[in-house]
Structure 1
Amino acid sequence: MLILLPPSEGKAAPRRRGRPADLGALGLPELTATRAAVRDALVAASAGPHALALLGVGESLRAEVEQNTRLATLPGAGALEVYTGVLYDALDFGTLSPAAKRRAGRSLRVQSALWGPVGPADRIAPYRLSMAVTLPGVGPLARAWRAVLPGPMAALAGDGVVVDCRSSTYASAWLPAGDAARRLLAVRVLTEVAGRRTVVSHLAKHTRGEVARVLLEHPGRLRTVVDVAAAVAGSGHRCELVDHGRRGHSLDVLR
């Protein structure tokens, strides 16, 4: 099983001391060249006069954009220490059991626009960058990552279920293809009023964090999408498994 999470917009403040992120030490080292190209392009863009417009942010985030210019020297921390917000609050990685943390090391990755897929042990620095951005010298980030992720991600997923908790923007960087697409399980969060179901946003991130926690704490091996759906339902969530044919499956969690 592979659990994919989106990064948070907010990041923890950088540590005052410590070693900077080492691109060569991150998981999936075959992505090092792309990581370096994106980092260097982001540093250059963040130092330019049109940095805020280029990165699609407002004046209130100027300090975070300026921080991007120091990415090569900012102290790094574990990825799940850097990412914050409601999804990561619900996941609450620090309180997972030792067995669940070991599972996370093997099977949980955050799809970063800057660092690519990173796991709990990967040391990264906080940054401001969205997958929707087009960086000079790199181009649209989703397209740049799509060019290099298929092989490494397919190997990481193996023949297991891919539980996708990402937003569509980040999912556009990689999705399993061919026969593996049938093992995709996208987590959708819906509400039902008068028999009509609609996607919700205010609870979606929190619910996806809860789902990730349930799966990491589950003691048995979850081999199929049916196993995953049963584990989530067994935790008390009201959910349904939906088959989308060649596009895989969704787990619709009702709130």
Structure 2
Amino acid sequence: MLVLLPPSETKRDGGSGGPLRVAAFAYPALTDQRSTLVRALVALAHDTDASVAALKLGRTQLAEIDRNRVLASSPTMPAIDRYTGVLYDALDAESLDAADREFAGRHVLVHSALFGPIGALDLVPAYRFSHDSRLPALALKKHWSASVAAALAETSGLVLDLRSEAYVALGPVPKRTGSFFLRVVTEAADGQKRALNHFNKKSKGEFTRALLKSRRNFETVDELLSWAPTAGFQLQPGAPGELELVVEQIVAAKRA
């Protein structure tokens, strides 16, 4: 089983790991592309105005440019600890025990716009770069899509794609048996379902945490669907190649 998570714009400062080593990340075939983006982002950071435009920053966010300027030499920490925000707050990786984290290292990827898909325990610095960031003469979708899709095609078994559609565009999982895109939906009293946007992140974080705490390497979607209610989740088949994580309407309203 492999779980694909989106990254987050917000990231924790600091870290106790050594400088960035992109060659040590999962999928080493992507090393050259990672290095190209790192060099381009560091170079961009020496032009404040260009960085503000490329990264869509407000004038109160100039510290993000400082992060990028030193990202090749700044301290690192595991990816699931570096990212913050709604999904990662619900995942609460720092509170997982050693066995849970080791399981995450083998079964969870975070798809970074800067680094591509990386292992949950791969060591990353603080940086600012998103799916809609723009680098001079470099289109992210063209840079990543085919090579990331090829890397993910090497994966066998059950794949759960929890990324946003914007990150899916940077490297889709090849359509095959055993690969599923997860949608978080709420069901109204009349039975109609609607997708949740911002508030789906908390549900995805809670679901991922439960998977890690279970430490079960599900081989088929049927095994996953059987387990879900025992962990308190309503998970069901959706459109072809999709699963729906159903959140009760009252719960979704409280989160709003």
- TM-score normalised by the chain length of structure 1: 0.88
Partner of 1:4: 4
The equivalent of 2:252 in structure 1 is: none
> Matched residue of 1:185: which SS?
strand
Instruction: Go from structure 1 to structure 2 and tell me whether the alpha carbon gap of 1:110 and 1:18 turns closer, same or farther (over 3 Å shift).
Output: closer
Matches within 5 A, 1:216-235: 216-235=212-231
| Rounded Cα–Cα distance in structure 2 between residues aligned with 1:251 and 1:193 | 14
| Distance (whole Å) between structure 2 residues aligned to residue 10 and residue 107 of structure 1 | 23
Distance 1:89 1:20 in 2: 25
Counterpart contact for 2:80–2:120, Cα < 8 Å: yes
Q: Which runs of 4+ in 1 moved over 4 A?
A: none
Q: For 2:62, give the aligned amino acid.
A: R
SS at match of 1:147: helix
The answer to whether 1:207 aligns with 2:211 is: no
- TM normalised by structure 2 equals 0.88
> What amino acid is the match of 1:62?
L
Asked whether the 8 Å contact 1:111–1:118 carries over to 2, the reply is yes
How many residues are paired up?
246
Which one-letter code corresponds to 2:33 in the other structure?
T
Partner Cα distance (2:127, 2:98) in 1: 29
2:189 corresponds to 1:190: no
The yes-or-no answer on 1:171 pairing with 2:168 is: yes
- Checking the alignment, whether the CA contact within 8 Å between 1:133 and 1:140 is kept in structure 2 is no
Query: Does the C-alpha gap of structure 1 residues 18 and 236 become closer, same or farther in structure 2, counting only changes over 3 Å?
Result: closer
Instruction: Report SS of the residue matched to 1:72.
Output: coil
Q: CA deviation at 1:66?
A: 2.6
Please identify, of 4-13 and 54-63, the stretch whose mean Cα deviation from structure 2 is larger: 54-63
- Superposed CA offset, 1:21-70 (max 9, x none): 11222222111100010111111222223211111222221111232111
Could you tell me which amino acid in structure 2 is paired with residue 192 of structure 1? E
Distance in 2 (alpha carbons) for counterparts of 1:219 and 1:168: 27
Question: What residue ranges of structure 1 are gaps of 5+ in the alignment?
Answer: none
User: 2-side partners of 1:77 and 1:97: how far apart?
Assistant: 17
